[in-house]
Amino acid sequence: MVYSTWWEQQKEQLDEKQRIDYFRKWPPPPEWLIWMIEAIWDLNPVDFEDDDDYWPYFRRTKALGFGSEDDYKNAMRDEAATIEKNGTP
């Protein structure tokens, strides 16, 4: 939770370009793309009914080189399969 507290303080000082630059320096794995989308564009997950509502932002992450909606869905599918097989992530 230390990161979460730090990010909440930092993001107020960063514009969109600086947030994107931050994630270029430390890119998240594909399964974290929704979290990154929320961080870059300061979105509230409560405003989205499900992952499909993020599609306009996935187009942006793909254009920026972070990954696509398919990358996210494949990573989530792989993680679910691993959990099902092993019982743990």
List the Cα angle 6/67/38 in 5-degree steps: 35
pLDDT, residue 89, reads 60
Residue ranges of domains in the chain? 2-86
- Specify the pTM: 0.85
pLDDT in tens, 18-72: 999 999 999 999 999 999 999 999 999 999 998 889 999 999 999 999 999 999 9
Residue with tokens 């993680």: 79
Name which of 64, 89, 87, 61 is nearest 76 in CA terms. Answer: 89
